[in-house]
Chains A and B, each alone.
Chain A
Amino acid sequence: MESAPSPAPLQRRRFLTRISVALSAAIGAVLSVPVVGFLLAPLMQREPRVWRPVGGVDQFKVGETVSVRFEDASPLPWAGATARTAAWLRREDESRFTAYSVHCTHLGCPVRWISDAKLFLCPCHGGVYYADGTVSAGPPPRPLPTYPVRVRRGQVEIQTSPIPIA
C-alpha cells in the first residue's frame, strides 16, 4: 500500500500547473493581440482629407444641381469602382458652389435630385429634402450634410469626407 503523497510532489505539481497555464495564456496573447489589433486597425486610422477636382467652373450653370463623382482620399490600388464617391453639386452664383452628400441621413441610401420638383428624394424609405437640404418629409432625422467646396485655378474642388454616420 502506498502512503499519501508527500508535500514535495504536491508542491511540484501545483508549480507545474501554474507555469503551464501561464505559458498557455502567453501563447494565446501572442496570437490574439496582433490578430484583434489588425482587425480593429480601421478604427484607429483616420484618412487625410484631400481636395478633389470635379470639373471646370464653366461646366456648371448657375442654379443647376448635378451629380459629380470624385475619388476617395486614399484609395487602395485594388478598390476599383468602390473608391468612387458622388456628391450633388449646385452652382449658387458666379463664385459660390454647394456640395450635398448623396447619403440620406435616415440610413445612408443614395438620394436623387429631382430637378423639376427641386427636391431630393430617397428611394429606400421615401425621405424627401428641399433644395437647401432641409428635411421636407419622411423619416430622415437631419438635413443633408454638405461637403466643403472651393474654386482653385478655374476648377471646382470638393474636400473628401467620411461617409456621414449618425
Chain B
Amino acid sequence: MLDTLLGWIDDRSGLITATRRVLQHPVPPRTGWWYVFGSATGLAFLLQVATGIALATAYVPSSGQAYDSLRFISEQALLGRFLRGMHYFGASAMVLLIGIHVSRTYLMAAYKFPRELNWLTGAVLLLLTLALAFTGQLLRWDQTAVWSVIVGAAQAGRMPIVGEQIARFILAGDTLGGATLSRFFAFHVFFIPALVFLLIGVHLLLVLRHGISERPKAGEPVDPATYRRRYDELLQREGVPFWPDAAWRDVVFGAAMVSTVALLAVIVGPPDLGPPPDPSILEAYPRPDWYFLWYFAVLAMAPQHLETIIIVAGPLVFGALLLLVPMFNKGERSVRRRPMAALLVVFIWTMILVFWVAGERADWSPDFDAAPLPAQVVRSTDPTIVAGAKLFHDKGCEFCHAVAGYGGKRGPDLTDVAARMSPDQITGRITNGGPNMPAYVRVLTSEETAAIVAFLNTRR
C-alpha cells in the first residue's frame, strides 16, 4: 500500500528517484572527519532559520518597542529564553564552522580545478554570514546595539567620497531613529537569508557536479587536462555511496553541534539585554559580540595614521584575496607541498585570537569605576601625600594609571614610578602630557601638581 503510494508520487514527480540518486552518488573513499564542516555550517543555518522564524513571531521590529518585546521573549514567553539562546549560540556556531570550513578547503586546496566556483560561492556565503552576524547583533536592540549602529556608520563614514552616503544609509537618515531598526530587520530576516538560500543551492549543485574533492596526496598535482578523467577513474575504482558511507559522519557531527548549541542555550542562556536603546544615556560602553571583538581591538590598537586605511582598505583587501584564491587553480593540493598556505592559515587564526584576547581585556579603555586608593596603599599620613593620592583619583589619573592594582591599564603602571623617574621628570610629564596623555597644565593648579608628584614620589 505504502509502496504503491510512494511509487505513484515518484512516477508523477520524480522526486524520490532524484533524491536517491543524489544521496547515493559516489564519493571518494576515506574522506574522513575533515569533511563535516560544510554540512555543519548549512545545518547551523537551518537552525537559525527555524529559531529565527519562531523569534520573529514575537519580536516587534520597531525602534520604540523592540526592546520591550525582547524582554517579553526573554522573561515571560514560554521557551523564549531557550530560543534566544539557541539563536545566539547557533549564530556563533555558524560563524565558527564556516571559518573552519573555509580554512579546511583552503588547506586541502579543494578550490583548485574544477571547483573554483565552489570556492567563490562559498566566499560570498562567508561574507553573508558575517553580515547576518552583524545585523543580528543589532536586532538585540539595547544600548549596545544602538551604539554599534552609530559606530558602524562612523566606520563607513571613513570611506572616501561615498562614506557619508553609506553612513546615512546605515542610520536610515541624519540620526538614529524610528527608521533604523526596521531596515536592519528586513535585511536580517528577508534579504540576506534569501541570498544565502540561493547561494547554498548553487554551492550544493556545484558540489554534485564536480563531486567531493578527494583527499590530497603530495606528488599528485592538479592538471586541468587530466583531472576529471583521473577523478572519474578513482570513483569507479574505489568510490563509495555518499549515503551512508560518508554522510554518517555529517549526521553525527551535526547532532553533536545541535546538542552543544541546545545545552549552551539552557546552561548559559542568551546574552543579557543591556540598558534600553536610548542614545541620550551616556553611561554606555558598546562592545561587539565575540565574533567581531577582534576587529574592535584592531581599531583600538591601530596606529592613528593607518587607521582610516585599515577601516577602508581592510575589508576590500580581504574580499579581493578571497576572490583571488581560485586563480591558483593548478598544481599541488597537499599542504605538505604548500607550506605558505599552512603558514597563512595559522597566521590568520593566531592574529584573530591575539586581537580577540586583547579585545576581551580592552586595556585601552579608561577604568571609570576605579576606586579611590585606600590608606594601606597610600602608606602615609603626610597631608600633602594624602591629598596627592586623593587628587590622583579625583583628577582622573587613576582611570588610566594603576597603583598597586587600583586603576586602569591604558597608561604605564605607576606602582613603582619613583624608582624610574625623578620628581622633576614626573612633574614634566604631568604638566606637558605625552602622545597618549593630556597636558595637565590645563587642568591642575601648581599646588595640585606638587601634591600628586609628592604622592607619586613615594611609589617605589
Contact = CB atoms under 8 A, between A and B. Distances in A.
Contacts of B399: 114, 117, 121
B384 interface: no
Contacts of A108: 147, 150-151, 153-154
Contacts of A165: 153-154, 157, 163-164, 167-168
B62 A125 contact: no
Contact of B365 (A39, A69, A119, A126): A126
A103 B150 contact: yes
B153 A163 contact: yes
Nearest to A69: B280
Contact of A125 (B165, B172, B300): B300
Interface string A139-166: 1010000000000000000001111011
Contact of A162 (B158, B174, B281, B438): B174
Given A79-B177, A163-B153, A165-B164, A117 B395 contact: yes
B396 A166 contact: no
A160 to B, nearest CB: 8
B443 A117 contact: yes
Given A76-B177, A124-B151, A125-B364, 15 more contacts: A43-B168, A46-B174, A76-B178, A76-B179, A80-B64, A81-B279, A82-B277, A83-B178, A86-B279, A107-B155, A109-B284, A118-B442, A124-B365, A126-B364, A137-B436
29 contacts: A42-B172, A42-B179, A46-B174, A80-B277, A81-B67, A81-B278, A84-B280, A103-B150, A103-B154, A107-B299, A108-B153, A109-B150, A109-B286, A111-B282, A112-B368, A114-B399, A116-B395, A116-B396, A117-B394, A119-B396, A121-B396, A123-B365, A125-B364, A126-B410, A130-B438, A162-B168, A163-B171, A163-B175, A166-B164
B413 interface: no
A86 B282 contact: yes
Contact of A109 (B147, B183, B368, B443): B147
Contacts of B437: 136-137
Nearest to B150: A108
A137 B65 CA distance: 38
Chain B CB count within 10 A is highest, among A69, A77, A83, A166, for A166
Interface string A48-85: 00000000000000000001010011011111111111
A73 B436 CA distance: 37
A162 B62 CA distance: 21
A80 B68 CA distance: 11
Interface residues of A, number: 56
Contacts of A162: 168, 174-175
A109 B146 CA distance: 10
A8 B423 CA distance: 102
A73 to B, nearest CB: 7
A89 interface: no
B13 interface: no
Interface in B84-123: none
**Interface residue SS majority, chain B:** loop
Nearest to A71: B280
Given A43-B169, A107-B299, A109-B286, A78 B366 contact: no
B365 to A, nearest CB: 6
B289 interface: no
A37 interface: no
A17 B238 CA distance: 47
A102 interface: yes
B392 to A, nearest CB: 11
Contacts of A102: 282
A128 interface: yes
Interface residues on B, range: 35 or more
B276 interface: yes
Nearest to B302: A139
B180 interface: yes
A40 interface: yes
Contact of B366 (A46, A103, A123, A163): A123
A77 B62 CA distance: 10
A84 B64 CA distance: 11
Contact of B394 (A40, A42, A69, A116): A116
Contact of A110 (B171, B276, B282, B366): B282
